[in-house]
Chain A
């Protein structure tokens, strides 16, 4: 067997790299991404450093900001976007508006207006292809909805009606997909061992199949 022949085999093997059969289907690519991210959503969130709840950050800003910045700043904050410096001021002013609305009908109207603003922020982030801003905007939307659901005197059915006709919010699933771990843990302990067998020529297998089996067999992992 000549070197040239082996090179031609190698060329054909390399050509398999371009074989479309070896590419994942587009539907699988998209759906698996969603499934995987949903599966890991809760533990992923648990890995993040603890942050103050956005609502309370808004409250703190509502208390501190007017003393230092004034009404003009509050007005200027109304067009701010997530990650903007004045965004907490915007949130704080919304919370104050909500608290100050005297009747259930007005509170519900303010609540829907707040949700509409969150939706506009998401649309803005999407139009800018700003993934960081989009992530913040979606998180703020989720937080806003949670806060509004816990606010009494708001007519939840009116809010629900508005949401159904508005942007769909992705929520984490209740139960991420779980798989049996026992078998995997056992094999993973072996895979985590980084030791490499001694590379001496005397330990290399010869042509005899019996000697090959002990080192070549993939079930060596057992």
Chain B
């Protein structure tokens, strides 16, 4: 039996009220969901709260999930994404307009110099400063290793748009790393 078959069976069992099956889904997806949420909200306690809510929400919505529709993981990530949006909405979180999306020109030689000394820590700090849409695309693409088609399903945007967002997100990330380097 393939991994997909096993997952499919586990989902069906969970939909019928099998406690062990639901526990298996929790074990299977906890790390990936938590990591996605953590790098979106960048706070451990908040990420824990939201992750727990996501699994309760997963249970509530599981009876409506159909395997002929979205792949389960994409469906689950979409639930997680919506839970983060709800979290910010209920806390009346507003996105600062200073987190602009356009990328001003920077001297190429400086970019190259930044590039050779760029570290993971610098990238992580820059990731936090990105606009949420950019950060989300980079998390899904590179940290969660999802394809553009799957990302487009999760964020509910066309694939072409996802590609554009991705290249702009990387440019914005490098700009923030450069700003940090300049300081």
Q: Is the CB of B23 within 8 A of A33?
A: yes
Q: Is the CB of B70 within 8 A of A17?
A: no
Please, which residues of chain B bring their CB within 8 A of the CB of A14?
142-143, 145
B158-177 interface code vs A (CB 8 A; 1 in, 0 out): 11110011010011011000
> Within residues 178 to 222 of chain A, which ones have a CB less than 8 A from any CB in chain B?
179-180, 183-184, 187-188, 191-194, 196-199, 201, 203-205, 207-209, 212, 215-219, 221
Chain A nearest CB, measured from B161 CB (Å): 6
> Within residues 21 to 41 of chain B, which ones have a CB less than 8 A from any CB in chain A?
22-23, 26-27, 30-31, 34-35, 38-39
B47-88 interface code vs A (CB 8 A; 1 in, 0 out): 010011101110101011000011000000011001001100
> Within residues 1 to 39 of chain B, which ones have a CB less than 8 A from any CB in chain A?
15-20, 22-23, 26-27, 30-31, 34-35, 38-39
Q: Out of A29, A201, A217, name the residue touching B30 (CB < 8 Å).
A: A29
Q: Is the CB of A204 within 8 A of B161?
A: yes
Q: Is the CB of A16 within 8 A of B23?
A: no
Q: Is the CB of B52 within 8 A of A1?
A: no
Most buried by B among A37, A177, A203, A216: A216
Q: For this complex, into which size category does the number of interface residues on chain A fall?
A: 35 or more
State the A residues within 8 Å of B (CB). 1, 5-6, 8-10, 12-17, 19, 21-25, 28-29, 32-33, 35-37, 39-41, 43-49, 131-132, 135, 177, 179-180, 183-184, 187-188, 191-194, 196-199, 201, 203-205, 207-209, 212, 215-219, 221
Q: Is the CB of A45 within 8 A of B17?
A: yes
How many residue pairs at the A-B interface have CB separations less than 8 Å? 176
Please, which residues of chain A bring their CB within 8 A of the CB of B112?
5
A8-B118, A17-B143, A46-B17 known; A187-B51 Cβ under 8 A? no
Question: Nearest B residue to A28 by beta-carbon distance?
Answer: B48
Question: Nearest B residue to A16 by beta-carbon distance?
Answer: B143
Please, which residues of chain B bring their CB within 8 A of the CB of A5?
111-112, 115, 174
Q: Is the CB of A196 within 8 A of B56?
A: no
Chain A nearest CB, measured from B151 CB (Å): 12
